[in-house]
């Protein structure tokens, strides 16, 4: 096993177009980190030149081959200090003359590998081609190293690919903007893949763009080991490859629990066509026009008394309906209780399940609630789906925790259905730990993902505020819920996400149920969180101002459109390794 090593994430403000000055300054910072004992050192995206280039013609005098003059200087430093360095720069391919936004991994013996940014931000197409090298993990004497560049990490597939391939650490170099940092996307990618993430971000203002800083090192349990808020600086942390190789999320062996046989849709991209036409093709499971609706999540801790749980849910449903909600989501095991779900499991024909159906019919509201189900001698972690004028249905949780595996059988079908307010998908509890699950629901056209859960802690934390002053309306002050993992689940899929969690007396880390909006960077955020009380209600807007093409982000799904499925084959292979013979 590779020994733990010290790592350093360099934060730096390049001066636009001053390559010699930038390279000299970067070398000085990297050498400081190496002298401090760092064996892996990252630098920001496009750190040698600056970022905001108008076009190919403007950047032409600054691009380099790899190896090339700039990387040669870092090779000398890596050799003299026996370390590895990631350098961000604009690359030219000598054979094609195409330009790329690239990262070079440099070791004592020279260039170890190159990553070319695969998922471009709005600016790259002005001068650069999308990367053509895929997502690689490079074996080194200090560990297995992967690289991603800025926008790459918005996509659940990129970090998942390198995690499946055994990355101990993801070196994410960026020019991140428009929010406090460490950014929630960075944290979620480390957390859901159970690995370290090193973040080198730039800071400062360039051509009117304010960059966020916040370079850091993030551990496999979402812990921030060190961070640089504003200005040039270096964040340090100890990386232990043994922790990454456990591949655990909240103690669960998530890579072993994946269900790649159910993930085939990850290889498609349903939103490359006008979704109004695609989801009505042949008249099969046609999606209706979007509109404004109102939904709710209820939060409580269910007991082993089914009647008492039913009474609590009825009261919360009445309250939600009084606020004009059309749908309400309740926690996992809301009907049958948390204590011994294998023993309290009940059939879908139980009078309490029928009572939920009757409540839905009487109040004209959709109800989604978790319960332990028994059917044909098998037990399941399930959710009741009760809709007016529709037979009650169930969804069976696909991804089970180790404890759930001891008594329950996993389901094998994702759940999607339509309501007058939009298309709805359902996940339960541990399902949402798997980014593939939410992505499949998004690819099926879901506007809203509902997630009954029972999670005690580890999925959120606050932010003390940043010294980086963001332009209005972007906030930069203190935020008690800066990172909420299920807010990220919403934004990455351009879906509303209704997370209903159990509440535990005396545990302030539990609860925090909420409804999160489909655009992470829309401020003020379109969301409601249960901080006090037991109910959150919010409007969701799926309407469009254009009758031909959706203008609403949840229906348009900008991030989903920009996926690059041709790279994603390992995600659907049983062992993550396609047979290329």
Query: Which residues are identified as catalytic?
Result: 45, 117, 150
Q: Which residue bears the tokens 């409540």?
A: 359
Facing residues of 217 across strands? 198, 226
- Angle at Cα 456 formed by Cα 184 and Cα 462, nearest 5°? 35
Residue 412, phi then psi, degrees to nearest 5: -140, 20
Phi-psi region at 297: left, alpha or beta (left = phi > 0; alpha = psi -120 to 50): beta
Which residue in the block uniquely carries the two structure tokens 């955020």?
525
CB 291 within 8 A of CB 542: yes
Three-class HEC string of 297-326? EECCCCCCCHHHHHHHHHHHHHHHHHCCCC
Angle subtended at Cα 368 by Cα 366 and Cα 373, rounded to the nearest 5 degrees: 135
CA 253 to chain centre: 18
User: H or E segment at 119?
Assistant: none
In three state form, how does the secondary structure of 493-524 look? HCCEEEEECCCCCCCCCCCCCEEECCCCCCCC
* C-alpha atoms less than 13 angstroms from C-alpha of 341 in its C-beta half-sphere: 24
Each residue of 507-518: b (16+ CB within 10 Å) or e? eeebbbbbbbbb
DSSP state of 360: H
- Cα–chain-centroid distance for residue 521? 14
Q: What is the dihedral of CA 279, 283, 286, 291, to 10 degrees?
A: 100
- Closest to 527 measured CA to CA, from 184, 199, 122: 184
Q: Are 150 and 173 in contact (CB under 8 A)?
A: yes
Length of the chain equals 581
The pairing of strands 137-139 and 144-149 is: antiparallel
């Amino acid at each position: 096993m590779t020994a733990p090593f010290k790592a350093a994430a360099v934060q730096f403000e390049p001066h636009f177009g001053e390559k010699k000055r930038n390279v000299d300054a970067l070398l000085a910072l990297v050498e400081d980190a190496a002298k401090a004992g760092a064996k892996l050192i990252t630098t920001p995206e496009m750190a040698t030149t600056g970022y905001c280039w108008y076009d190919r013609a403007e950047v032409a005098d600054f691009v380099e081959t790899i190896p090339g003059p700039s990387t040669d200087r870092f090779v000398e430093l890596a050799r003299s200090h026996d370390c590895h360095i990631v350098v961000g720069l604009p690359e030219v391919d000598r054979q094609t003359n195409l330009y790329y936004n690239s990262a070079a991994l440099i070791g004592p013996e020279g260039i170890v590998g190159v990553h070319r940014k695969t998922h471009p931000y709005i600016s790259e197409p002005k001068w650069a081609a999308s990367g053509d090298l895929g997502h690689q993990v490079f074996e080194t004497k200090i560990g297995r190293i992967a690289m991603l560049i800025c926008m790459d990490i918005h996509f659940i597939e990129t970090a998942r690919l390198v995690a499946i391939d055994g990355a101990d650490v993801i070196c994410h170099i960026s020019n991140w903007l428009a929010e406090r940092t460490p950014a929630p996307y960075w944290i979620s990618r480390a957390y859901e893949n159970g690995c370290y993430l090193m973040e080198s971000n730039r800071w400062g203002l360039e051509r009117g763009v304010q960059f966020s800083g916040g370079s850091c090192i993030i551990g496999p349990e979402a812990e921030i080991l060190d961070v640089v808020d504003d200005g040039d600086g270096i964040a340090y942390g100890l990386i232990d490859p043994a922790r990454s190789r456990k591949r655990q999320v909240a103690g669960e062996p998530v890579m072993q629990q994946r269900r790649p046989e159910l993930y085939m849709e990850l290889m498609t991209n349903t939103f490359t066509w006008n979704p109004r036409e695609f989801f009505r093709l042949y008249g099969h499971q046609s999606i209706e026009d979007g509109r404004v609706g109102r939904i709710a999540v209820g939060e409580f801790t269910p007991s082993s008394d089914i009647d008492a749980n039913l009474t609590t849910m009825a009261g919360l449903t009445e309250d939600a309906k009084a606020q004009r909600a059309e749908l309400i989501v309740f926690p996992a095991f809301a009907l049958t209780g948390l204590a011994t779900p294998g023993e309290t499991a009940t059939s879908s024909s139980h009078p309490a399940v029928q009572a939920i159906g009757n409540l839905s019919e009487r109040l004209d509201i959709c109800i989604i609630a978790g319960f332990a189900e028994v059917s044909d001698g098998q037990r399941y972690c399930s959710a009741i789906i009760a809709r007016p004028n529709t037979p009650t249905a169930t969804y069976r949780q696909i991804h089970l925790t180790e404890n759930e595996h001891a008594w329950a059988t996993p389901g094998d079908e994702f759940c999607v259905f339509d309501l007058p307010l939009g298309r709805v998908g359902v996940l339960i509890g541990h399902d949402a730990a798997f980014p593939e699950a939410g992505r499949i629901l998004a690819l099926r056209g879901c506007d809203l993902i509902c997630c009954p859960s029972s999670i005690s802690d580890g999925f959120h934390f606050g932010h003390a505020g940043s010294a980086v002053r963001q332009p209005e309306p972007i906030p930069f002050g203190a935020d008690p819920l800066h990172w909420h993992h299920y807010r990220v689940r919403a934004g990455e899929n351009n879906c509303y996400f209704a997370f209903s969690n159990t509440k535990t007396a005396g545990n302030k880390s539990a609860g925090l149920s909420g409804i999160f909006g489909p655009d992470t960077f829309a401020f003020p955020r379109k969301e409601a969180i249960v901080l006090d009380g037991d109910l959150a209600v919010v409007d969701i807007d799926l309407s469009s101002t254009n009758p031909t093409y959706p203008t609403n982000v949840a229906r348009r799904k900008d991030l989903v459109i920009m996926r690059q499925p041709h790279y994603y084959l390992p995600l659907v292979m049983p062992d993550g390794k396609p047979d290329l013979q």
